[in-house]
Amino acid sequence: NGAVISLCGVPAVPRLLALLDDGSDEEREAAAHALGKIGANSPDLLPEIFPRLVRELEKTHEASCSGILLAFGSVGQHFPELVRKHIPKLLKFLRSENPDTVRYAVLALGNLATANPTLVRDARPELERLAESTDIELSANAQMALSLL
């Protein structure tokens, strides 16, 4: 998974970037998640990593987007201005039919809110709706994100 791969750190970056291009959906998810963690902890690598994460966000489909959403949350928590213009893309995942996708989008937006709440203020109506969900985990995460706004 992404956490395990990220333990490899900087030496793993070339292989992780390659997985974004030629890996299976599961491998791309794990690679994106790991790259987000590495980028958040190694800002000197962000010029190489972040454009690739943006491309992955633009082409990802809902069934395999958890890694990229977590990556944007990780990077955005430390470098919110870097992800600012991509937040509308993250917001669209709040309306996904896939419950896991919605959960990961809420987590990513919550991470962004810890760094700069004004960046995710447009998510408030959707987060309020999701805070009323019967899915306890989703509701709790949406409430947490709202508490930061």
Collapsed DSSP state (helix, strand, coil) of residue 102: helix
Q: What CA–CA distance (Å, rounded) separates 105 from 96? A: 9
* Residue for token pair 């039919």: 97
- 3-state SS, residue 1: coil
Residues 38 and 12: beta-carbon distance below 8 Å:
yes
DSSP secondary structure string for all residues of 52-94: HHHHHHHH--GGG-HHHHHHHHHHHHH-HHHHGGGHHHHHGGG
Q: What are 111-125's pLDDT values in tens digits?
A: 999 999 999 999 999
Mind listing the pLDDT tens digit for each residue in 22-31? 888 888 888 8
Which H or E run includes 141?
helix 136-148
Report whether pLDDT(44) > 80: yes
pLDDT, tens digit (0-9, with 9 covering 90-100), for 75-105: 888 888 888 999 998 899 999 888 888 999 9
